[in-house]
Amino acid sequence: MRNWREFNSGPHNYVILKKGTDLHAFNQKIAGIIARESGDTYRTAFAMRFSDNYLYNTFEHGKRLGGRIEYVRMFTMIAAFILLIACINFMNLSTAKSGRRMREVGIKKVVGAGRKQLMFQFLGESFLVTFVAVTFSIFLVALFLPQFNQMTGKQLTLHISLELVLAVGCITLLTSLIAGSYPALYLSRFNPITALKGKLVSSVGELWVRKGLVIFQFSLSVMLIIGVMVVSRQLEYIQKKSLGYNKDHVIRFDSEGKMLNNQDNFTTALKQVPGIVNASGTSHKIVGPSGATSEIEWEGKNPHDIIFFEFTDAGYDFIETLGMTMASGRAFSKNFGNEPDKIILNEAAVNVMKLKDPVGKKVKVFNLNKEIIGVVKNFHFGSLHETVKPFFIELVPKDGSNWYKIIARIKAGQEHETIERIKKFYADYNPGFIFEYEFLDEAFQKQYTAETHVGILSRYFAGLAIVISCLGLFGLVAFEAQRRQKEIGIRKVVGVSVTNVAVMLSKDFLKLVLIAFLASLPLGWWIIHTWLLSFAYHIQIGPDTFLIAGASIILITFLTVGFQAIKASIANPVKSLRME
């Protein structure tokens, strides 16, 4: 049996620490255990909380780099941005309709109301609107939570607790202050005499603030559209990229019971089952990380270099079952007898070893001399988040003691009936054990569960942000049309067409959205480019992504603004002038 030094490829050990133990101090104590036991000074042991394993699951050279927590943070930021967009709409609509409340402010100031009192009144109104919105949102959460759980594979429940009440209360208060502060300051500063006369002249600064808020919220919407498009394309790229082996129609299951130490006979018999194309065994689970070692030597290697190779023990027909392609040399074959002293490398291993014409050369693995008989083209057993690692394949020991998994390729279109035959064969061969299997393509897809959920949720978030932005814009256009109804009436009386009136009302808002699109490009590109860098293999962001996003947001804006503009332009001018 290989000693710890040869096989210390990252085992997961579970330890119960005493209550109150300082994890940092504990890690300092165990930091040198690998060096003491094996002489390997390259790697360091460390402990982490089991509860952190799901969210903080990405490491490099023993350092935690994040993991799924990054998506939690990302969606928290997106949720905050969407809330901010809603607050901006409230600010814009409140200040836009300030003319209707001028006389109210003027009268209250005349009878002695101070600015502070008016500010509290408007903030109170903001709080009331927010409170009603929060109450309605809790109802919506309870309504759609089952669908959310089904979509994300979670089992979340809406449990009212003191912590939740305090958190929602803080969010409600903060949202009220953000949404209501600017309208409160703006409305409470009216001069009472000017307010009573009903004459309000907006300053250039006020107009720019309002336009700036529109630009800001639509910039966020554009970035979300770009994000949705890139995430969808990257997921599609993952599905279509060649892995270096054929994962379709291949099942894997554990080697256990009577099969242990007898796998070669088992796979030989399994191949006779109708519908089975080929079968083999391996110490690798195929999809996911494998064992790794630096215990490999070759001629010309720098003795000071520590290079880790992933590896697997495999049976005959392993390469053929997975549909791998040999770049040179051959695969293991019974035609050459037992080959325990033979080894197969992948192209990445040959490159890192800087070997020319590697077939036939000798290497030393785990202090055993091996002959390279073939080089297989690079393949992705791991996620596309990582580059292809140097990899070698050894022939499994004759007793099959290292066969942890059996793999079998099934004829396409005969999966169901073949699985039933395998179940019967397995029950006869290995009585008392349940046949539990998994398709490789399903296992491969599970590696990207988080990304798939990100793609789905980002579409909903982007849609929600766009709807909220358009609702605000819809209200602003409606108010603008009402404010300029006398002007519109006069223009129509003197012969201006409906189209010209609609263009007059629409062009300013379309300009703002176009500016928002241009302003969002640099930040949008940087954010999505940073996300793509988490994949070693990813798509390139082309100009078509931004053009489609820009065209989409402009079309959505045109439909939103155009509806109100056309509605105002076809109104009867006589009624508009009579109302004045």
Task: Give me the mean pLDDT over the 414-443 stretch.
Answer: 90
pLDDT at residue 74 is higher than 60: yes
pLDDT score of 63: 60
Of 32, 62, 81, the closest CA to residue 468 belongs to 81
* pLDDT attached to residue 5: 43
Residue 6 has a pLDDT of 44
What H or E segment, with its residue span, contains residue 574? helix 573-579
Instruction: Give the pLDDT score at 118.
Output: 77
Residues whose CB falls within 8 Å of the CB of residue 4, separated by 6 or more in sequence, listed in order: 37, 38
Which of 63, 64, 66 minimizes the C-alpha distance to 533?
66
List all residues 6 or more positions away from 171 whose beta carbon is below 8 Å from its beta carbon. Answer: 134
What average pLDDT does the chain have?
Answer: 80
Which range has the top average pLDDT, 29-33, 287-291, 545-549, 574-578?
545-549
Q: Which of 58-72, 76-90, 424-438, 481-495 has the highest mean pLDDT?
A: 424-438
Q: Is the pLDDT of residue 574 over 60?
A: no
- Mean pLDDT, range 529-546, rounded to an integer: 87
pLDDT value of residue 404: 79
- In this structure, what is the dihedral angle of CA atoms 531, 537, 541, 545, given to the nearest 10 degrees? -90
Higher-pLDDT residue of 82 and 377 is: 377
Please spell the DSSP secondary structure of 460-481, one letter per residue.
Answer: HHHHHHHHHHHHHHHHHHHHHH
What tokens does 239 get? 């599905």
Per DSSP, the residues of 352-400 read HHT-SS-TT-EEEETTEEEEEEEEEPP--SS-TTSPPPPEEEEEPPTT-
Which range, 31-45, 184-198, 273-287, is most confident?
Answer: 273-287
Asked whether the beta carbons of 188 and 118 are under 8 A apart, the reply is yes
Q: What is the mean pLDDT of residues 360-384?
A: 89
* pLDDT value, residue 283: 84
Higher pLDDT, 157 or 571: 157
Region of poorest pLDDT, from 196-205, 210-219, 303-312: 196-205
Per-residue pLDDT tens over the stretch 299-328 = 888 888 888 898 888 888 999 999 999 999
Instruction: Write the DSSP string, 171-217.
Output: HHHHHHHHHHHHHHHHHHT--HHHHHHT-----HHHHHHHHHHHHHH
DSSP string, 503-527: HHHHHHHHHHHHHHHHHHHHHHHHH
Q: What is the C-alpha end-to-end distance of the chain, expressed in Å?
A: 96
Segment 268-282 shows an average pLDDT of: 92
Separate counts of helices (H) and strands (E) for the chain = 19, 14
DSSP secondary structure, 97-144, as one string: TGGGGHHHHHHHHHTT--HHHHHHHHHHHHHHHHHHHHHHHHHHHHHH
pLDDT over 90 percentage in the chain = 16
The total of other beta-carbon atoms located within 10 Å of residue 274's CB is: 9
CA 383 – CA 388 distance, rounded (Å):
9
Tokens, residue 477: 């256009």
How far is 353 from 309, CA to CA, in rounded Å? 11
Burial of 551 (0-12, 13-18, 19+ CB in 10 A): exposed
The pLDDT of residue 70 is above 70: yes
H-run or E-run covering 79: helix 69-96
- pLDDT, residue 2, reads 42
- Supply the pLDDT for residue 351: 93
pLDDT digits (tens, 9 = 90+) for 483-533: 666 777 777 777 777 677 777 777 877 888 888 889 889 988 998 888 888
pLDDT attached to residue 378? 92
DSSP reduced 3-state for 155 = coil
pLDDT: which is higher, 176 or 565: 176
Q: Is the pLDDT of residue 84 over 90?
A: no
Residue listed under structure tokens 């089991």: 50
The pLDDT tens digits of the residues spanning 442-474 come to 888 887 777 777 778 878 888 888 888 887 777
The set of residues, in sequence order, having a beta carbon less than 8 Å from that of 149 and lying 6+ positions away, is 155, 156
Range of weakest confidence among 135-139, 429-433, 447-451, 566-570: 566-570
Provide, rounded to the nearest whole percent, the portion of the chain with pLDDT above 70: 83
Q: Which residues contact 479 (CB under 8 A, 6 or more apart)?
A: 93, 96, 97
pTM value?
0.71
Tell me the two tokens of residue 393: 């394949």
Residue 184 identity (one-letter amino acid): A
pLDDT-based confidence at residue 343 (cuts at 50, 70, 90): very high
Residue 3 has pLDDT above 50, yes or no: no
**Sequence-distant (≥ 6) Cβ neighbours of residue 513 within 8 angstroms:** 214, 218, 553, 554, 557
Residue with tokens 């002959």: 371
Look-up: residue for tokens 């409305």? 187
